[in-house]
């Protein structure tokens, strides 16, 4: 019988590994955490040390950011390798160290139930025009939950992102469908190895979308984007296009459906890993900023494919190493002289703001603000 680890090696092309170590030397976690080495995990798998790989607690330290894949000469799919090994790890009852008491994991599990009732549309104020059926659907993601859990650090995803997405679309003449019973996309479940939960969420979301005439789904969350665009398509038949909000806003601005007034200030931009390294969307956010008169845009030293992760994924293993990665990124942003660090992922924003607002963060030599690109664009478009 073929061993499980051999199948994973086969599926991820790990047998091409040259043992060069470029993955480990390019990995932001391995640079700080001497116990974590992607090269070693692959080598152990190739030798057939299944138990060692599956039971390695450091498996959960990987951010699945994709930085290593940029440098691997053999094109080993290390992110998929980690995801697949985590599936086996989870079957043995092993998982990462959950942040926030595991509340996000609980929410995901809760959202898998068939007959739950959510108050998901309470944030839609009367001036926001949405529909039950239509060609464009706005997938809101878990932002309503983030606002409750992170009330203290004032992320306000609904006010500062979701409402502005609808306002910008309305301004361009689009009334998006917003689902009253949308579920978590399943991103964290999938990358934590919980395929059963992921498949249930996929089924429930596709059932909600079906029959509404949806041709395009737009989201401001890069994790939802990757999940709907790549992972749903791997498990089911998808008959709609999936776009990030920056792609859609750029398209609308190019068609003169939205326009911008002059703004002041110097900004820099953080490429979220799912948007950039996973999906290759680097130019849409930059082109959009380039259309706003007066913007002084400055790149960080590490940008696009070399961009550093915000340091945490899956609400898991948020430790001193992830904090250190995040602080490095904030310092890099500060070094540009920009007054605002823009990002295009609600989770990146939460993690950055969390680091800046904790006790040690307040003593950092970092004074710049962190804002979602949607917020910035909405101000320039005059919808705030």
Strands in 308-362 per DSSP E: 340-343
Residue 192 makes contact with ligand SF4 by CB under 6 A:
no
Which 71-130 positions form the footprint of ligand SF4 (CB under 6 A)?
Answer: 71-74, 76, 78-79, 99-100
Residue 176 makes contact with ligand SF4 by CB under 6 A:
no
Which 29-48 positions form the footprint of ligand SF4 (CB under 6 A)?
Answer: 29, 38-39, 42
- Closest to 97 measured CA to CA, from 312, 372, 361: 312
What is the C-alpha separation between 369 and 367, in angstroms, rounded?
A: 7
From candidates 351, 368, 376, 377, binder to ligand SF4 by CB under 6 A: 351
Residue 190 makes contact with ligand SF4 by CB under 6 A:
no
Complex with ligand SF4: residue 244 or 329, whichever CB lies closer? 329
Complex with ligand SF4: residue 20 or 116, whichever CB lies closer? 20
Instruction: Enumerate residues 6+ apart whose C-beta is below 8 A from 196.
Output: none
Interaction mask 201-230, ligand SF4, x per CB under 6 A: ------------------------------
From candidates 27, 169, 258, 288, binder to ligand SF4 by CB under 6 A: 27
From candidates 45, 62, 137, 330, binder to ligand SF4 by CB under 6 A: 62
Quote the least distance from Cβ 239 to ligand SF4, whole Å.
31
Question: Coil, strand or helix: which one is 371?
Answer: strand
Number of residues that bind ligand SF4 (CB under 6 A): 35
What is the C-alpha separation between 251 and 269, in angstroms, rounded?
A: 20
If you write DSSP's letter for every residue of 104-148 in order, what string do you get?
A: HHHHHHHTT-TT-----STT--TTS--BSS-SEEEE-TTHHHHHH
From candidates 45, 54, 67, 267, binder to ligand SF4 by CB under 6 A: 67
Instruction: Enumerate residues 6+ apart whose C-beta is below 8 A from 139.
Output: 179, 182, 185, 217, 218, 219, 221, 224, 228
Residue corresponding to tokens 């839609």: 124
What is the C-alpha separation between 342 and 364, in angstroms, rounded?
A: 19
Quote the least distance from Cβ 49 to ligand SF4, whole Å.
16
Residue 23 makes contact with ligand SF4 by CB under 6 A:
yes
* Residues facing 137 on adjacent strands: 177, 217
Quote the least distance from Cβ 121 to ligand SF4, whole Å.
26
Query: Where do contacts with ligand SF4 occur on this chain (CB under 6 A)?
Result: 17-23, 27, 29, 38-39, 42, 62-68, 71-74, 76, 78-79, 99-100, 312, 315, 318, 350-351, 354-355
């Amino acid at each position: 019988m073929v061993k499980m680890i051999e199948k994973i090696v086969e599926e991820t092309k790990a047998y091409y590994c040259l043992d060069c170590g470029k993955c480990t030397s390019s990995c932001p976690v391995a640079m700080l955490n001497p116990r974590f080495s992607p090269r070693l995990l692959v080598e152990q798998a190739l030798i057939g040390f299944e138990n060692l790989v599956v039971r390695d607690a450091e498996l959960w330290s990987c951010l699945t950011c994709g930085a290593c894949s940029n440098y691997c000469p053999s094109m080993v799919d290390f992110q998929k390798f980690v995801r697949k090994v985590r599936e086996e790890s989870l079957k043995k009852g092993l998982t990462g160290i959950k942040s926030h008491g595991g509340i996000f994991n609980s929410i995901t599990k809760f959202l898998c139930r068939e007959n739950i009732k959510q108050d998901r549309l309470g944030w839609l104020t009367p001036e926001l025009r949405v529909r039950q059926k239509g060609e464009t659907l706005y997938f809101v993601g878990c932002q309503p939950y983030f606002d409750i859990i992170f009330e203290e650090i004032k992320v306000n995803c609904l006010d500062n992102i979701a409402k502005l997405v609808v306002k910008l679309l309305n301004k361009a003449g689009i009334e998006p469908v917003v689902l009253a019973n949308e579920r978590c996309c399943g991103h964290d479940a999938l990358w934590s190895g919980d395929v059963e939960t992921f498949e249930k969420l996929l089924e429930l979301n596709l059932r909600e979308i079906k029959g509404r005439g949806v041709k395009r789904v737009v989201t401001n969350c890069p994790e939802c984007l990757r999940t709907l665009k790549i992972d749903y398509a791997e498990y089911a038949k998808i008959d709609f296009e999936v776009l990030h909000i920056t792609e859609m806003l750029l398209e609308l601005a190019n068609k003169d459906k939205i326009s911008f007034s002059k703004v002041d200030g110097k900004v820099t931009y953080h490429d979220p890993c799912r948007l950039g390294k996973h999906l290759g969307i680097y130019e849409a956010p930059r082109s959009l900023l380039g259309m706003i008169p007066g913007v002084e845009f400055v790149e960080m030293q590490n940008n696009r494919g070399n961009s550093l992760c915000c340091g945490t994924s899956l609400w898991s293993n948020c430790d001193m190493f992830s904090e250190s990665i995040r602080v490095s990124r904030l310092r890099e942003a500060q070094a540009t002289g920009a007054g605002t660090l823009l990002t295009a992922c609600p989770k990146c924003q939460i993690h950055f703001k969390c680091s800046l607002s904790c006790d040690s963060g307040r003593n950092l030599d970092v004074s710049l603000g962190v804002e979602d690109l949607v917020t910035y664009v909405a101000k320039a478009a005059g919808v705030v």
